[in-house]
Structure 1
């Protein structure tokens, strides 16, 4: 009869070792055929092998070492590396070619820009030469008139001197021979002074020329600056979901009318319920953007920009443009133009006698700059940036959220005729 085999679990063996501190007693376990219910013995050096005790870190490191590659595998790996090197070299060549193309394209652009400005410089030079030639012609004509006057006065002076000589001789002769009647003409009429207007240049025409050149210079500078802004022009449309009910929109969503009767419809979550405000439909979170608003047919308005977190309900400062930290604006109210942010304001002045009809807004998101201009003269009305007047106690040198164009209607004056409306301009170069 076969000897009975006594099996001791591994957990029990480890427990005995930890308690006694010595190895467990040896047990005679004869070799036997593997049972179908038992797993076959595994090689302890393989990663998949299961040991009755935790594997040491040294054995784990040995098990993770990569296996030795065959010659065929090394050949395939070398071919892959060579193919990768060829692809990388081709990509580098493509990048270098692209760099050369960009350089040539930039040089061509510079040449075209230089040609356009050269045309303008030549036109200005021709106008300058024409103005200088006119001044020179006017000088010659005035010099000719002056020379004729000088010649006439020189002849008069010579005649006076001759009469003086004759008068002296007659006086000497009368002293020697006694009083005698002198038959010569010693009369000398007093010559009237030359007309001063006849020897002046055209001062009036010159002053008119200077004024015209000054206006042309201002207009040219304004047009050049506006052209630079128009390169970053953006099409702004009004968000119907955010408009107050007293604002009606045109079909293109750029024209806004103030209506005394609110439009029908359910109240929307993003809608301004008490303050008559409207927002642009798209926020701007990068780059430079420029848009203009025609306010010529509105007597009381505000144009600005805001974060989307501006309050939409109620009439508190959090829902009014420029009365909180989330919005900036310029506004015309009771005939006074002012710039607002964080419930602080400064007065704005418009150059010239003409009223402000179009407001230009320039947003430079990366630089944290928001500037308002008179779009006709390009005079800056107000700039919000990191370096500004200390009136605004918190200026943003970096915007933290997308910025939306913003508009506000104040109730029109009683004497204003026609509807009060604003329109986002369709800008073209």
Structure 2
């Protein structure tokens, strides 16, 4: 029996060793694919830069060509005036020795008049209207580019989800707006029905609808807040009992990022990931992106598309719901609501 047990354990060890080998190979494969895609994307950006640089060269060259033609005409007019000035100098010198008649005076006056008429600076103009059109086109191009970048944010916006909070899940000290788009902490225990879905120990509320496929992105306005938690959870997250168990990220059922008095912490499975590089930074909006096919949950500072933290679950085991915790009053500094934004129309980053 001991021999059989040893043989069995050896086989199991070999199975685990083979699994580790497959995981390592998968890791190498994913790294290679990611690096290859990064190179392709980088090349596209380099191509865009070359196109813009060439367009700038063409535009400025054409403007310089027109300016050179205008400058040449100016120089010709100046030279004509100079030659006439030399002729007048000669006439002045001759007049000191001879006394010409009125006829020659009239001829000289006519020549001067004609020269002044032909060299009038107002007759030489720039096509300023065309220049303004060029400026307008480049401005429109800049506005278009800004509306498309950062491209990651633009892509996230295409996944914007319509999130409605479920008041029947909200802790009794939370007030959910009638439209389900915001949640506010209050010191007063609300007179609400006691239902199994309601959190009774943590200040949580989750969305009415979950999702189990595709990709979703949503944003929450956190301006003026000193404490909040945002994330995603399975419906199985504990709603009653031990406070620690019910908190977001403290179990395997949920993922979250927490902000408290200037510090950020990411949580999942009871493991905290402190994010010291973000300490002291404040964002108006926090974005949460989830890819069901990719098994990832990513948190970003939506104002500047700053990555906060990314979790990889590999494969999600159940339907996911958006989850919020507006936090307690934090000594009178945290009364503002958490408000769900229209992620498809978030303010431009640049």
Category of TM-score, reference length = shorter chain: 0.5 to 0.7
* Cα shift at 1:262: 1.5
Q: Is the 8 A contact 2:163 2:340 kept in 1?
A: yes
The answer for the alignment partner of 1:424 in structure 2 is: 340
What's the CA shift string for 1:2-53, capped at 9, x where partnerless?
Answer: xxxxxxxxxxxxxxxxxxxxxxxxxxxxxxxxxxxxxxxxxxxxxxxxxxxx
Q: Which has the higher contact order (CA 8 A, sep 6+)?
A: 2
Q: What is the distance in 1 between the residues matched to 2:265 and 2:59?
A: 42
The answer for the alignment partner of 2:152 in structure 1 is: 225
1:339-350 to structure 2, matched below 5 A, reads 339-348=266-275
The answer for the alignment partner of 2:316 in structure 1 is: 399
Q: Is the 8 A contact 1:373 1:382 kept in 2?
A: yes
Q: Is the 8 A contact 1:294 1:357 kept in 2?
A: yes
Q: Is the 8 A contact 2:263 2:279 kept in 1?
A: no
Q: What is the distance in 2 between the residues matched to 1:351 and 1:316?
A: 27
What's the CA shift string for 1:53-109, capped at 9, x where partnerless?
Answer: xxxxxxxxxxxxxxxxxxxxxxxxxxxxxxxxxxxxxxxxxxxxxxxxxxxxxxxxx
Segments of structure 2 that go 5 or more residues without pairing to the other structure are 1-44, 65-142, 346-350
The answer for the alignment partner of 1:108 in structure 2 is: none
* Cα shift at 1:297: 2.8
- SS of the residue corresponding to residue 324 of structure 2 reads strand
Cα 1:132–1:325 shift into 2, 3 Å: farther
Cα 1:281–1:123 shift into 2, 3 Å: farther
Q: Is the 8 A contact 1:350 1:374 kept in 2?
A: no
1:333-344 to structure 2, matched below 5 A, reads 333-344=260-271
What's the CA shift string for 1:99-137, capped at 9, x where partnerless?
Answer: xxxxxxxxxxxxxxxxxx9xx98994588449988xx9x
Match of 1:249 among 176, 188, 192: 176
The answer for the alignment partner of 2:200 in structure 1 is: 273
Structure number with higher helix proportion = 2
Cα 1:292–1:312 shift into 2, 3 Å: same
Q: What is the distance in 2 between the residues matched to 1:380 and 1:295?
A: 16
Q: Is the 8 A contact 1:294 1:423 kept in 2?
A: yes
Q: What is the distance in 2 between the residues matched to 1:416 and 1:353?
A: 16
The answer for the alignment partner of 1:413 in structure 2 is: 330
What's the CA shift string for 1:290-314, capped at 9, x where partnerless?
Answer: 1111111321000000100010012
1:284 aligns with 2:211: yes
TM-score by length of 2: 0.56
Q: Is the 8 A contact 2:148 2:154 kept in 1?
A: no
Q: How many residues align?
A: 222
Cα 1:326–1:121 shift into 2, 3 Å: same
- SS of the residue corresponding to residue 309 of structure 1 reads coil
Q: Is the 8 A contact 1:350 1:379 kept in 2?
A: no
1:92-111 to structure 2, matched below 5 A, reads none
The answer for the alignment partner of 2:283 in structure 1 is: 356
Match of 1:264 among 181, 191, 199: 191
1:321 aligns with 2:248: yes
Please identify the structure whose Cα radius of gyration is greater: 1
TM-score by length of 1: 0.46
- SS of the residue corresponding to residue 227 of structure 1 reads helix
1:346-385 to structure 2, matched below 5 A, reads 346-348=273-275, 355-385=282-312
* Cα shift at 1:353: 7.5
Cα 1:353–1:315 shift into 2, 3 Å: closer
* Cα shift at 1:249: 1.4
* Cα shift at 1:248: 0.6
- SS of the residue corresponding to residue 267 of structure 2 reads strand
1:8-407 to structure 2, matched below 5 A, reads 124-125=52-53, 128-129=56-57, 223-348=150-275, 355-385=282-312, 396-407=313-324
Cα 1:329–1:131 shift into 2, 3 Å: farther
Q: Is the 8 A contact 1:244 1:274 kept in 2?
A: yes
- SS of the residue corresponding to residue 268 of structure 1 reads coil
* Cα shift at 1:222: 5.1
